[in-house]
Chain A
């Protein structure tokens, strides 16, 4: 993975020293909150419902063991012994005190991490496929491209005051585990005539006005990618609306001007931008790519076949939580942070240290954080899988539910977030607990439930097979359900099923949906989403709103 240079370290140290001075000036009264707020936000420090919150970027979701241990240390020393992994491959600390934040940032800097541009109208943390560099079917590792974009966008003077925040995601696989179609810019690395380049999507996003990204260019060769991205963001920077916060994202710019006009403007701007790039970016890209060279894979699966055959519990864990690796003797292991009844995405400092230890001992020192709020050991030799399973079991990390009903993603909601209109976490906890009690989730199979606690959709509810949106309806929490969303390569925005449900009705409603699916599916191979696509919403609405169905029939 990428190793910080002296330049990177000096840059961070200076930036942190600046912020330390800004915090001191806020505390001694030299700065008002109005003056301080944009400064703290640039450094990832929010003020939430009960406390400050520090959002730390985990670029393209990649961590080594040393970084994970440092995240644990920070959690113990300056927070409450845990961290929350988010749907944007960040980690959030929910309880820092203002005075301690500069020390936290210095501690992050020691391991090549930062919180820069995790807020504000800037290019945010660049996300990527969490199986990058490991997936069997991958075309190219998206992380060198993502790292290049991180370096280009960090403190980019032209793009510090965009009309609104700007999110970029990169995938190197046709399976698109990075939800690229729901980002301001989505990059899909593809091969054409032996050359790697990117299909560039623009104008995707969830939130108040959910939109699926449109293809701006079928293929941009890698040497042209950075000037092309710069042209896109430059066009948006001037054209994007600044008069209305709710119309300021590039998805609205694309919608209002049309993709053809945006393409024309970008192509025009690109000529100017391209001329200004002298190849230094590609030299840098070469160095970055070398940092992401695949580890030296070791052949041999040891006793794995026998271990798999002998123990049904281990077998179930493997079947549910692993994915095919590019090397036949390896696997990609997803460690669930969704133990039934636990807070999605939370890991204690002890759990972080266990994961760091396992990555170091068995997994080529690599960890990933997924936008689905789980942790991945991307390069795990099959011969060590049993030992890893045993260690995870001892740490409460062996829940075998990846991709199932209880593998719910949920934003922090009104338990933490100042913007939330309702809670998300307890709804996720109760749904997961319900499915555990019913012992139904293996029978149900692949099902993505996603929960957001407000219209900003951090919980990606629009692309959940079942999406839940928490709202405030006349001073009471109310939950709208959307159906049929999909965050994969052919992304679909889910459709709202009908009127919302009260807090104490929503878990029952989800159970009814799942039971309706089981009753009408054409065999165990037909997934929830496939059934929904086949039947449409009618049978699901009927089970959600039985009384109104009767009223219509009468």
Chain B
């Protein structure tokens, strides 16, 4: 039996600010993880990643990150991705700065 697919989001860093961004369903970049398009199968994930790579003038290093469906939208799975949604733990800088 094939392994169950873990849903994904496409994420990258914005070219100018370096801030973490996520690809929305409409093909725009958002700064909020919960607004990302949650991709449910590998074929779509592959296509969406190619779409993201075509936006290379807007972002740097797009990749697929595991995510799960949450109450307000996709939520990160791995702690690294969770940190990327907030910012560092020693100062209230980055996204958590508001």
Contact = CB atoms under 8 A, between A and B. Distances in A.
A346 B90 CA distance: 11
B60 interface: yes
Nearest to A49: B84
A477 interface: yes
Nearest to A475: B78
B18 A426 contact: no
B38 interface: no
B50 interface: no
B17 A49 contact: no
Contacts of B15: 26-27, 98
B71 to A, nearest CB: 22
A419 to B, nearest CB: 11
A52 B78 CA distance: 22
B27 interface: no
Q: How large is the interface on A (under 10, 10 to 19, 20 to 34, 35 or more residues)?
A: 20 to 34
B90 A414 contact: no
Contacts of B30: none
A228 interface: no
A125 interface: no
B18 A414 contact: no
Nearest to A80: B93
B88 A415 contact: yes
Contacts, number: 72
Interface in A364-390: none
Given A33-B60, A98-B18, A425 B90 contact: yes
A423 B89 contact: yes
A47 B18 contact: yes
Contact of B80 (A99, A414, A416): A414
Given A33-B61, A97-B16, A98-B18, A51 B89 contact: no
Nearest to B85: A50
Contacts of B79: 414, 472, 475-477
Contacts of A194: none
Contacts of B3: none
A426 B86 CA distance: 15
A73 interface: no
A32 B57 CA distance: 8
Nearest to A97: B17
Nearest to A476: B79
Contacts of A429: 90
A48 interface: yes
A95 interface: yes
Interface string B1-44: 00000000000010111111000000000000000000000000
B89 A50 contact: no
A312 interface: no
Interface string B56-98: 1100110000000000000001111001100111110111000
B16 A425 contact: no
A520 to B, nearest CB: 35
A97 B90 contact: no
B90 A343 contact: yes
A51 B90 contact: no
Contact of A50 (B61, B88, B90): B88
B18 A29 contact: no
Contacts of A32: 56
A365 B21 CA distance: 44
Nearest to B20: A50
B77 A475 contact: yes
A453 to B, nearest CB: 11
A414 B93 contact: no
Contacts of A426: 89-90
Contacts of A48: 18
B18 A52 contact: yes
Interface in A37-72: 47-52
A50 B94 contact: yes
B15 to A, nearest CB: 7
Interface string A238-272: 00000000000000000000000000000000000
5 contacts: A52-B18, A98-B18, A414-B80, A425-B89, A477-B79
Interface of B: 13, 15-20, 56-57, 60-61, 77-80, 83-84, 87-91, 93-95
Task: Kindly list the 8 A-B residue pairs having the minimum CB-CB distance in the complex, ordered from nearest.
Answer: A415-B88, A51-B18, A52-B18, A29-B57, A50-B94, A343-B90, A425-B90, A426-B89
Given A27-B15, A47-B61, 6 more contacts: A27-B16, A33-B61, A346-B90, A414-B83, A425-B90, A472-B80
